A and B are shown apart, each in its own frame.
Chain A
Amino acid sequence: MWRFIGFRFLQAIPVILAVITVTFFLVRAAPGGPFDQEKAVSDQVRAALEARYQLDLPMHEQYFSYLEDLFRGDMGPSFYYPGRTVNDLIFQGLPITAELGFYALVIALVIGCLAGVLAALKPNTAQDYVPMSVAMIGICMPSFLLGPLLVLIFGIWLDLLPVSGWGNSAGDKILPSITLGAMTAAYIARLSRSGMLEVLNQDYMRTARAKGLPEYVVVIKHALRGGLLPVVSYLGPAFAALLSGSFVVETVFQIPGLGRFYIQAAFNRDYTMILGTTVFLSTLIVFFNLLSDIVAAWLNPRLRYQFRK
């Protein structure tokens, strides 16, 4: 097992390195210099700025010095906000985004798995159709539509919940978490339904019933593990989906998280910030993909056995 984990880690390194390289050169190759908007800057000031950001060095030296900084955990100063570093901004936004993402993931897992398993236990009945129809709505209702609609209904028309901010007023975390978790919940519901259906049709379910086990033991002990394995494998992609979803949700609900910073950086052409956030988020996503792969492999006795040897 450790060999498998080590192997997958080694595999992740070139991916992250490639992400850094591609992002770096893409950003540097962007048409129009980073200071184009600021017309009033004199040549002298511009030269000073460029020196500070090491823009006067040849491209490859910039790249290597950036890599070097990165290894020390320094992502450089922000282009747009004078006096602030990218590290500052990321670690200011990260806890908020992480909290939001965590709530959303919990909502998605609990609701998604519950709906999917219940649907699979009684296929082609109301117990199947109702949750699956809701899941279908979830898939066709993107967060940038669901969020505003929830705000409109619960925030403005019914005046039940606050419509913006994070941790400033009671209940202001509810709507963003639901908005972000909804689509992932819908995907997980569909995945767990089809996973459970497949397992429930296996011969070994009949064996379990023929032993005289009560139905709940059959489902919980014999079906859940295999049936929910696709959900575990999906957690990596789900994490990536939640992150990109946070761009929208944090914008809609005006939450000062990492996602909103990223979108603002994109608009402000805050190049170091874009570069730093991209590298940071990509590493995070690659890491979570890795984690979900490892957990899925660990849950599969056959794979576990192969790597033990």
Chain B
Amino acid sequence: MTSESGSIGSINTALEMPRGTSLWEDGWHRLRKNKLAMFGFFYLLLLILICLVTPWIAPYGYEEQNLRLGAVPPTAEHWLGTDTFGRDMLTRILYGGRISLMVGFIATAVALVIGVTYGAIAGYAGGKIDNAMMRLVDIFYALPYMIFIILLMVVFGRNLLLLFLAIGAVEWLVMARIVRGQIQSLRQQEYVEAAISLGLSPLTIIFKHLMPNALGPVIVYTTLTIPNVMLLEAFLSFLGLGIQPPQSSWGVLISYGVETMEEYPWLLIFPGLALTTTLFALNFLGDGLRDALDPKASRD
């Protein structure tokens, strides 16, 4: 609103006044002071960047074999060594990271869309609708979802799209609960009542008064869902029920690494390190965001 009125010249003097600090800016300042969270943030940024340009910067081809070389520990040519087929581990970890991150982000996005929509509807509708919708979530929550995902992967074959959907379908439950709780408590805030008594339309109230205030916890939980999803994917892939060759993810690489870890431990250690550090970064960032955006939720 301020930007629109700023162009009208001398009558509009409001813009020249000192600017306040919004809650977002406040949160950002708090986040910037949190070294671990900032480490997580930049680590992820770098990782995403590298994964985006992997095909151009990877030192070797993804399937490029060198059977004569076989498995060698890290050398100047192969920084992270090679596997039993003489394939460059750095290259394979980079390509694997693309898949792992993609699963993490896309499945989380699926969970986000379902969860936010469902939770917002239940929270805004309230009453019996809310009751029925949340009871359903409770029932789903009591289900042994890991077994179901495995079942789905067995029955319908191991394809990537199904994996996104299956993981997303599991993770939306918590998101729905969080959003619904947020909307419920925000609806009781007096500023929402004030907005109603001003005569604002429900849509304006939702988008201007409810959504921006519910966003913080959603961002926090989204950040914390990504590592969960990546873990789930790696778990399935390790069991051979997730990503299938020739595609590969960190979970697949770890599972190969385990088979030969006695002779070639670096085949286990490097993909494991890649997965663990990424999960670290995401969790640190998520915890930091919670402290920064949702000070009430972090109780310390």
- A–B proximity contact (CB within 8 A): yes
Cβ-defined contact, A140 with B279, below 8 A: yes
Selected interface stretch from A39-47, A51-59, A110-118, A280-288: A280-288
In the complex, chain A residues 135-159 whose Cβ is within 8 Å of any chain B Cβ? 136-137, 139-142, 144-145, 148-149, 151-152, 156
Asked whether, in the complex, the Cβ of B151 is within 8 Å of the Cβ of A278, the reply is yes
State which residues 211-266 of B face A: CB under 8 Å.
227, 231, 234-235, 238-241, 251, 254-255, 257-258, 261-262, 265
Flag if B300 contacts A124 (CB, 8 Å). Answer: yes
Contact (Cβ within 8 A) A145 B152: no
Which residues of chain B in 143-160 are interfacial with respect to chain A, using CB atoms and an 8 Å cutoff?
143-148, 150-157
B279 touches A266 (CB 8 A): no
Measured CB to CB, the closest approach of chain B to A121, in angstroms, equals 12
Which residues from 253 to 294 on chain B have a C-beta closer than 8 Å to any C-beta of chain A? 254-255, 257-258, 261-262, 265, 268-269, 272, 275-276, 279-280, 283-284
Q: Is A95 an interface residue (CB 8 A)?
A: no
Whether B144 and A240, one on each chain, are in contact in the complex, defined by CB atoms closer than 8 angstroms, is: yes
Report whether A148 and B151 are in contact in the complex, using a CB–CB cutoff of 8 Å: no
Asked whether A30 lies within 8 Å of B155 as measured between CB atoms, the reply is yes
| Pair A285/B144 contact, Cβ less than 8 Å | yes
Min distance, Cβ B184 to any Cβ of chain A, angstroms:
20
Tell me, yes or no, whether A126 is within 8 Å of chain B by CB.
Answer: no
**Hey, which chain A residues are within 8 Å of B261, CB to CB?**
148, 151-152, 156
**Distance of A278 Cα from B284 Cα, bound (Å):** 35
Chain A contacts for B128, CB-based, 8 A? none
B139 at the interface (CB under 8 A from A): yes
Q: Is the CB of A29 within 8 A of B279?
A: no
B8 within 8 A of A: no
Give the residues from 199 to 228 in chain A that come closer than 8 angstroms, CB to CB, to chain B: 201
Q: A266 with B150: in contact, given A136-B280, A156-B262 (CB under 8 Å)?
A: yes
Is B239 a contact of A248 with CB atoms below 8 Å?
yes
Q: Using Cβ atoms and an 8 Å threshold, which residues of chain B touch A26?
A: 151-152, 155
* B144 contacts A149, C-beta separation under 8 Å: no
Please tell me if the beta carbons of B156 and A31 are within 8 angstroms of each other in the complex: yes
B115 CB to closest chain A CB, in angstroms?
Answer: 17
Task: Determine if B154 and A286 form an interchain contact, defined as CB atoms under 8 angstroms apart.
Answer: no
Given A139-B283, A263-B239, residue A152 in contact with residue B151 (CB < 8 A) = no
Contact B272 A145 (CB under 8 A): yes
Q: Is the CB of A148 within 8 A of B139?
A: no
B143 near A140 with CB under 8 A, answer no
Q: Does A65 contact B (CB under 8 A)?
A: no
Q: Given the interface contacts A31-B157, A152-B261, A244-B146, does A140 sit within 8 Å of B276 by beta carbon? A: yes
Give how many B residues have a beta carbon under 8 Å from the other chain's beta carbons: 43
A194 within 8 A of B: yes
Check B155 against A286 for contact (C-beta < 8 Å).
Answer: no
B-chain residues with CB within 8 Å of residue A136 when the two chains form the complex: 280, 283-284
Minimum CB–CB distance for A16 against chain B, Å: 10
Interface contact B275-A145, CB-CB below 8 Å: yes
Interface of A is mostly: helix
Q: Does A23 contact B (CB under 8 A)?
A: yes
Check B143 against A244 for contact (C-beta < 8 Å): no
Q: A148-B257, A201-B299 are in contact. Are A267 and B240 (CB under 8 A)?
A: yes
Asked whether B276 lies within 8 Å of A269 as measured between CB atoms, the reply is no
Q: Are B154 and A266 in contact (CB under 8 A)?
A: yes
Q: Could you tell me which residues of chain A, from 1 to 20, have a CB within 8 Å of some CB in chain B?
A: 11-12, 14-15, 18-19
List 28 contacting pairs A-B, 8 Å CB cutoff, sorted by A: A15-B142, A26-B152, A27-B151, A31-B155, A139-B279, A140-B227, A140-B283, A142-B235, A144-B254, A148-B254, A149-B268, A149-B269, A149-B272, A152-B261, A197-B299, A201-B299, A240-B144, A243-B144, A247-B150, A247-B239, A266-B241, A278-B144, A278-B148, A281-B144, A282-B143, A285-B143, A285-B147, A286-B144
> What 10 new A-B contacts, CB under 8 Å, besides A19-B143, A244-B144?
A23-B151, A144-B238, A151-B261, A152-B268, A197-B300, A201-B299, A247-B150, A266-B241, A285-B144, A289-B142
6 tightest A-B CB contacts, nearest first? A244-B146, A140-B279, A285-B144, A30-B155, A144-B238, A148-B258
Residues of A within 8 A of B (CB): 11-12, 14-15, 18-19, 23, 26-27, 29-31, 123-124, 136-137, 139-142, 144-145, 148-149, 151-152, 156, 194, 197-198, 201, 236, 240, 243-244, 247-248, 251-252, 262-263, 266-267, 269, 274, 278, 281-282, 285-286, 289
Binding site for A on B (CB under 8 A): 139, 142-148, 150-157, 227, 231, 234-235, 238-241, 251, 254-255, 257-258, 261-262, 265, 268-269, 272, 275-276, 279-280, 283-284, 299-300
